[in-house]
Structure 1
């Protein structure tokens, strides 16, 4: 335990980097996922086809392979960014596919009669999405999106495999290499991840109850 008590600041900074990495990833994935979901239900066939192909292709590639492709492949074609933002970009593009499918499932849970009534009132496709479909779909997807956020947080540890050693898992690996106490160091990292997932689950439960009251 001396390793942890004397280096809690290192693990704390690693945890903050993991949170920052996860937050940016989830934010960009949410934006991309909403766009994909809209394309999947769009009356425009090319948009539906593009979104379907994107989701199928991305979900068929392991995240670590995509991270490696971005981090080591993009510089070869002249696209050079900071390592942190390269990882965020790769993870956001990956998780956007899952986010989009989650939102689309929520959209399908909205009764078709409400959409038909909105169109009968003269609302455009964009207005129907904004005022009728998306708000209800998001209420139905609180728990699935919380599960997705948990997956983003846990899989942020893969960033250490491509050189982002500042995040929690990367800092844990460095500590273990220095002190050779994997049970203690990785046990502490595991405890941090458990606390994060519990906090996300709790927040999702509270949000779901509040949204249920507003229905």
Structure 2
């Protein structure tokens, strides 16, 4: 299992933000994306997850292996905690939600509608979806938002278990999750030359996909 990125260029709002991004991430390893606000962390994750097209370069990984968690928790407000997880388990064909409920400390909240959860509880439920996907590549955009210190430590332990089981994780975060298996990729050195924007529009890049 490996995620390999080669000379990737990606855009936000039709304008190039990153170019020449290259790295390889093997099973059992994590990569932390760092850089100032607006550098392109979210844009890179969305591109790698296949939610928007790359301008250049390639992304190589086995098919159907990526689980993406964005800023939004992606919950059905009127469904209970258990029903939300069961929905995603059916989508991914993995079945049992009990381990995810237990691992993210949601067992006592299983029957509570998602709309009645606190912000931190909603975040834990959103992250619990990763555990029912059965997918080995986790791409996470600021996963610890709204989590208290104890929940950050809990999530860090979940990621370590995922890596120990042969998974890999790519995440944008400024929080130390205590991952000895993690490397850091500073994105500032991949900032795109703004003069490339004219070339992008000259070649008919379709902004509707962003």
Same fold (TM over 0.5): no
TM-score normalised by structure 1 residue count: 0.25
**Greater fraction helix:** 1
**Greater fraction strand:** 2
TM-score normalised by structure 2 residue count: 0.25
Q: Whose Rg is larger?
A: 1
